[in-house]
Amino acid sequence: MSELGDGEAGGGGAAAQHPTNAPARVRVTAPRAGVAGAPTRPLTQLSPVGPTSDIAGVYVRSLIRSQLRLAVVFAAGFVAATVLFVLVIVLVPGLDSSYVFGVPASWLLLGGGIYPLTITVAALYVRVASRNEARYRSLAEDA
């Protein structure tokens, strides 16, 4: 027989897959908030007790709030700028009739305006988010 044919190494019997001396598998999950019987404890009770853990929790929550605020501001700005591009194309009818190198000016405005806008917004977001994280790291190291 082949090496895998007798059920020892590759996938035959149940004994090969579940040895008798192995502990049973346990699924570890977090308790869901609002479910009957689920413990409701503040964040500080889940971490080791002490003043540094409280400060670390405050720093983490502050970082999360600042990153969320940053994402919302950049997303709203990007949507507003994109809507502005579309409104300019819709409200200025002469763009469709004027051509540059055989391409309608409205297409050039979209292609030459939206893609650089997207790249600029993404680069600025990454830069500011990295700055926020660096501030968090410096505060967390000091604590």
Q: What tens digit of pLDDT does each residue of 120-134 get?
A: 999 999 999 999 999
In a domain, 133, yes or no: yes
Lowest mean pLDDT among 14-18, 34-38, 52-56, 105-109: 14-18
Query: Chain-wide mean pLDDT for the chain?
Result: 77
In a domain, 59, yes or no: yes
pTM above 0.85, yes or no: no
Asked whether 40 and 30 are in contact (CB, 8 A), the reply is no
Report residue 138 CA to chain centroid gap. Answer: 22
pLDDT for 45 equals 45
CA distance linking residue 42 with residue 39, whole number of Å: 10
Q: Phi, psi (5° rounding) for residue 103?
A: -115, 135
Our count of domains for the chain comes to 1
Among the listed residues 81, 73, 64, 70, the one whose alpha carbon sits nearest the alpha carbon of residue 118: 81
CA distance linking residue 77 with residue 128, whole number of Å: 15
For residue 135, give the amino acid letter. Answer: R
pLDDT for 36 equals 63
In a domain, 118, yes or no: yes
pLDDT for 46 equals 45
Q: Reply yes or no on whether the pLDDT at 43 is more than 50.
A: no
- Identify the sign of the CA torsion 124, 129, 130, 136: positive
The predicted model gives 114-143 an average pLDDT of 90
pLDDT for 127 equals 96
Q: Reply yes or no on whether the pLDDT at 44 is more than 50.
A: no
Distances (CA, A) of 60 to 47, 68, 110, 132: 13, 12, 40, 11
Strand partners of residue 104: 99
pLDDT for 143 equals 65
Lowest mean pLDDT among 42-51, 69-78, 81-90: 42-51
In a domain, 14, yes or no: no
In a domain, 28, yes or no: no
What is the extent of the structural domain holding 50? 45-142
In a domain, 88, yes or no: yes
